């Protein structure tokens, strides 16, 4: 059967986590508390709304609905200012080689991200044309570790879930891929992503021979 590939965005294709961090830290500082890099780890793969809930928990802050909505918008405006300056130099190492390899083999490719800003980011770094389908925070009701995002992506590609390969950098993302019955590939720390079927530190460690094996699985 035909094989489909699904990429997470933040932490797999680009490192936007650093911009999310700066925008959340600015808000935290305005509200009078610190927000550390370690705490930012909890935000990876998590929806914007859930991130703000966690942030306010960290700061011990009770918000009205109106304040909550204002802060959601404020964080995103700051985040968008960082994205505005992104270009192809921010594509993570060997992502282009992998996308090119798959494209040349006519493999269907999808994005499966929690971000509502996925499309503008792919556009900014010049990768939009590689993707046959983009499923992001605008299309999904249930956040990772729920498999919804990847199941919609598989459906859009016309590929059965068992024939999909998912690249993910977040624990919740690996769990979502596993729950969808897909082949999960952890990109990052293998101790943290130990539920993944395969692990790689980054794409430079994944050769074309391995991709070929996945295509013929």
Binding residues for Mg(2+): 8, 10, 168-169
For helices 208-215 and 95-104, what crossing angle results, to 10°?
A: 40
* Ramachandran bin of 32, using left for φ above 0, alpha for ψ from -120 to 50, beta for the remaining angles: left
Q: Where are the alpha helices (DSSP H) in 115-193?
A: 118-124, 148-157, 171-179
Closest CB 63 distance from Mg ion, rounded Å: 26
Neighbours of 192 (CB within 10 A): 16
Q: Is 8 a catalytic residue?
A: yes
From the list 3-11, 76-84, 86-94, 121-129, the region that binds Mg ion by CB under 5 A is: 3-11
For helices 148-157 and 171-179, what crossing angle results, to 10°?
A: 60
Q: Give the span between the Cα atoms of 150 and 38, in whole angstroms.
A: 27
Q: Which of 10, 134, 159, 206 binds Mg ion (CB under 5 A)?
A: 10
Residue 46's binding partner out of ligand B16, Mg ion, none, with CB under 5 to 8 Å set by partner kind: ligand B16
Closest CB 123 distance from Mg ion, rounded Å: 18
Q: Is 57 a catalytic residue?
A: no
From the list 10-18, 53-61, 67-75, 93-101, the region that binds Mg ion by CB under 5 A is: 10-18
Q: Which of 110, 134, 157, 170 binds Mg ion (CB under 5 A)?
A: 170
Query: Degrees (nearest 5) of the Cα angle 213, 10, 54?
Result: 130
- Is residue 11 a contact residue for Mg ion (CB under 5 A)? yes
Catalytic residue among 10, 57, 189, 202: 10
Catalytic amino acids? 8, 10
Q: Which residues bind Mg ion (CB under 5 A)?
A: 8, 10-11, 45, 169-170
């Amino acid at each position: 059967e035909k094989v489909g590939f699904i990429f997470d965005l933040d932490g797999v294709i680009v490192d936007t986590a650093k911009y999310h961090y700066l925008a959340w830290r600015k808000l935290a500082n305005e509200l009078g508390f610190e927000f550390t890099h370690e705490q930012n780890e909890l935000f990876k793969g998590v929806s914007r709304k859930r991130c703000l809930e966690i942030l306010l928990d960290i700061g011990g802050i009770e918000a009205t609905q109106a304040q909550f909505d204002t802060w959601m918008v404020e964080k995103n405006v700051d985040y968008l200012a960082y994205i505005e300056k992104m270009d192809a130099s921010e594509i993570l190492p060997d992502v282009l080689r992998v996308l090119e390899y798959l494209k040349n083999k006519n493999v269907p490719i999808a994005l499966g991200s929690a971000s509502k800003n996925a499309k503008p980011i792919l556009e900014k770094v010049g990768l939009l044309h590689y993707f046959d389908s983009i499923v992001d925070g605008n299309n999904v009701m249930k956040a990772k570790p729920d498999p919804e995002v990847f199941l919609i992506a598989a459906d859009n590609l016309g590929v059965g879930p068992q024939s999909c390969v998912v690249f993910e950098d977040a624990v919740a993302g690996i769990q979502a891929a596993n729950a969808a019955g897909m082949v999960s590939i952890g990109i990052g720390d293998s101790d943290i992503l130990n539920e993944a079927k395969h692990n790689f530190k980054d794409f430079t460690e994944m050769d074309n021979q391995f991709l070929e094996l996945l295509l013929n699985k």
